[in-house]
Amino acid sequence: MQINVGKYVPRDTIIHRLDPRLKIVFNIVFAILFFVISHIITLLFLLSFTLVFFYITTKRWIDIIKLLKLPILLFLFMLIIYGFLITEQNANDIIDSPNAQKIGFSLLGLNTEEIYNYVHWMKVTKIPNTSIEFQIGTLSLIRSGIISLRIYALIISTTILTYSTKPFLLTKGIEDLIWPLRLLFIPTHIIAMIVSIAIRFIPTLLLEASRIMKAQSSRGVDFKNGKKKDKAKSMITLIIPLFVLSFSRAEDLSNAMEVRGYDPYAKRTKYRKIRFQWFDYLFLLALITLITIVIITEKNVGHIMNDLPLWWKYTNQKV
């Protein structure tokens, strides 16, 4: 089983050579923007840039498709939830309230009757022997899709960071970024060490989980077939050994660090110092430009959106 979660993938790309602090800031800023943006077109614009960065990092389109599994499952789950929450009365409240702009009906140039038909398109199924109705309509599809899209964008940006940054560089980047906390007498180097160890052990534990599954399968434990109850019992044979192994590795690491004289509170110097290169400044400039464009389109600064073509207004719906 190939394991790439939280694992550095060595490649010679411009993304790999970027300053780790810049990549961490890029990841944080994009994660915030993905959940703050309220226009579909702006979200897709930002996601397209993220996908380009991801392809530059991995050089494989298949990885982009593989990461769609969780968002699709989330979409189906949210569709079921909204199927019980969004009713005809909810749709009426949305149309009659000031929050109608959140779906951008006015930008579509629809009249009241067209808006009503658009919002009230839904497939209603009544659950037998109950008064509960399950409905799938325009609102539930839009909202479920947008939530899944936001999560997918977040997964892509986070994967770029872990794929293109070595663990020790990631630790150094985090330590440098949280340096101001030292003014509050918070030991930032200890926090950075904890983060480094956690990141380092993610692929190790996943690899050990794979080995345990193979060992238990050779003993007759079936993790794939059978009823859900049987699968749950099978998972116990995986979880318990994995926990025992985790504590054992943690104790071994603690003893090894103690034998080597590691003192978390000792003053330390740095063998490698991270410095910005010329391409880091270019990437930072591009990042600032991209964020500026997103803010301008999101907030309609100077009403520049009013003179844009009709196709833009059709796609510039708030969600």
* Dist CA 200 CA 195 (whole Å): 8
Q: What's the domain range around 309?
A: 19-166+277-315
Let me know if residue 116 belongs to a domain: yes
| DSSP 3-state of 285 | helix
Q: Which pTM value belongs to this model?
A: 0.72
Let me know if residue 6 belongs to a domain: no
Q: What is the DSSP letter of 125?
A: E
* Dist CA 116 CA 18 (whole Å): 50
Cα-based torsion angle of the residue sequence 252, 253, 255, 261 in order, rounded to the nearest 10 degrees:
160
Let me know if residue 133 belongs to a domain: yes
Triad 316, 318, 319: Cα angle to 5°: 130
% of the chain residues with pLDDT over 70:
76
Let me know if residue 79 belongs to a domain: yes
Query: Which tops the pLDDT comparison, 196 or 62?
Result: 62
pLDDT digits (tens, 9 = 90+) for 159-178: 888 888 887 788 888 888 88
Let me know if residue 81 belongs to a domain: yes
Let me know if residue 96 belongs to a domain: yes
pLDDT digits (tens, 9 = 90+) for 225-272: 777 777 777 888 888 888 888 888 889 988 998 898 888 777 777 777
- For the chain, the C-alpha Rg in angstroms (whole number) is 25
Let me know if residue 216 belongs to a domain: no
Any idea which of 12-21, 107-116, 142-151, 223-232 has the lowest mean pLDDT?
A: 107-116
Q: At what angle do helices 188-218 and 228-259 cross, to 10 degrees?
A: 130
Closest CA to 208 of 230, 236, 239: 239
Query: Which tops the pLDDT comparison, 242 or 135?
Result: 242
Q: Within 10 Å of residue 119's Cβ, how many Cβ atoms?
A: 22
Number of domains in the chain: 1
Let me know if residue 282 belongs to a domain: yes
pLDDT value at 120 more than 80: no
